[in-house]
Structure 1
Amino acid sequence: MAKFTWHTRAVPGGLPVRQVYGFLFAPDGRVLIRVDGAKHSLPGGRPEPGESAYVDILRRETYEEVTLDIAEPHYLGYQCVDDGHSPYAQVRMVAEISRVHPPEPDPDNGRTYLRLLVHPGKAGDLLNWGETGHQQAAAAANAAIAVLGLPHEGLPDAGYL
């Protein structure tokens, strides 16, 4: 069974990055959850050959999966996945949604995902990533306030974009 640990420092050299995902916030302070049937996740994915800049990976994946533009992403940290063979990193970033486009199918799989906005305090439960997921969601909520300057009180109810 894989072991997951959350870190807020830079990804160590030599630890491959296999995913870049973003906690994307609406200007009203709610965070976007990508919905695929009963599965909840964040927008993001794997680097393509030749891609190494986390910002570029997140921007591309965000547009492909949920057809949104984002303002400048900020690094949050990484989740180390140790499967007993080859540990790797899953980078997490935070950004504000700057433009919403009509939903389109993901070019990788043809699915069109729903875009759910929720209170940041509910993200950890919806993602169902265990304790490290709650740690990541808390770090994202703190960054939304401190770095992005977004509201944290009086947030609207959940709703789809």
Structure 2
Amino acid sequence: MPKFTWHTSAVPETLPVRQVYGFLFVPDGRLLLRLDGRKHSLPGGRPEPGEQRYVDILRRETLEEVTVEIDEPHYLGFQCVDDGVAPYAQVRMAAVVTKVHPPAPDPDNGRIYRRLLVHPCKAGDLLAWGETGYLQAGAAADAAVRVFGLPGDGLPDAGDL
């Protein structure tokens, strides 16, 4: 079983980045989650050939998967995945949604994902990533308030975007 550890430092140059995912906030402070059936996840994915900047990967993936545009993302850290073969990094970023487009099929697989807005404190439970997931969600909620100036209390509960 893979071992997951959360780090708020830069990804070491020797550790390959296999995924970039984003905690995306709307201006009222709620968090956008991607819903595929009953599974909640963050928008994001793998770098494509030639892509090196985490920002570019996240922007492309959010537009493809949940059809939203984002402001300048803020780096939160990375999750190291040690699968017993070759460790790799999953980068996590936070950003504010600036434009919402109608849902459309993901060019990668043809699925249309639902978009769910939730209070950030529910992210850890809904993502079900264990302790490292709670640490990531906490870092994202902190960045929403501290970096983006979004409200942190008195948010609406949940709803579709």
TM range (shorter): over 0.9
The residue aligned with 2:61 is 61
Q: How does 1:11-50 map to 2 (within 5 A)?
A: 11-50=11-50
Cα distance in structure 2, aligned partners of 1:82 and 1:12: 14
1:116 CA drift (Å): 0.3
Q: CA deviation at 1:157?
A: 1.7
Counterpart of 1:13 in 2: which secondary structure?
coil
For residues 93 and 104 of structure 1, what CA distance do their matches in structure 2 show?
23
Matches within 5 A, 1:53-132: 53-132=53-132
Partner of 2:148: 148
Q: So what's the TM-score if we normalise by structure 2?
A: 0.99
Cα distance in structure 2, aligned partners of 1:106 and 1:85:
31
1:3 & 1:82 partners in 2: Cα distance? Answer: 5
Q: Distance in 1 between matches of 2:143 and 2:73?
A: 11
- Taking the aligned partners of 2:157 and 2:133, their CA distance within structure 1 comes to 21
Distance 1:150 1:102 in 2: 24
Equivalent residue letter for 1:79: Q
- Counterpart secondary structure, 1:91: strand
TM-score, normalised relative to structure 1? 0.99
Amino acid of the structure 2 residue aligned with 1:77: G
- Aligned AA (1:12): P
Classify the secondary structure of the residue corresponding to 2:35.
Answer: strand
Q: Helix, strand or coil for the counterpart of 2:151? A: coil
Deviations 1:7-30 (A, max 9, x none): 000000110000000000000000
Task: Supply the distance in 1 between the matched residues of 2:157 and 2:100 (Cα, whole angstroms).
Answer: 19
Provide the residue aligned with 1:51 in structure 2: 51
Q: Secondary structure at the match of 2:126?
A: helix
Moved over 2 A (4+): none
| Distance in 1, Cα, partners of 2:80 & 2:37 | 27
SS at match of 1:131: helix
| Partner Cα separation in structure 2 for residue 160 and residue 112 of structure 1 | 14
The one-letter code sitting in structure 1 at the alignment partner of 2:9 is R
Where does the alignment leave 5 or more consecutive residues of structure 1 unmatched?
none
Paired residue secondary structure (1:141): helix
Match of 1:97, SS state, is strand
Q: Distance in 2 between matches of 1:42 and 1:121?
A: 15
Distance 1:40 1:52 in 2: 26
Aligned pair count? Answer: 161
SS in 1 for 2:29: coil
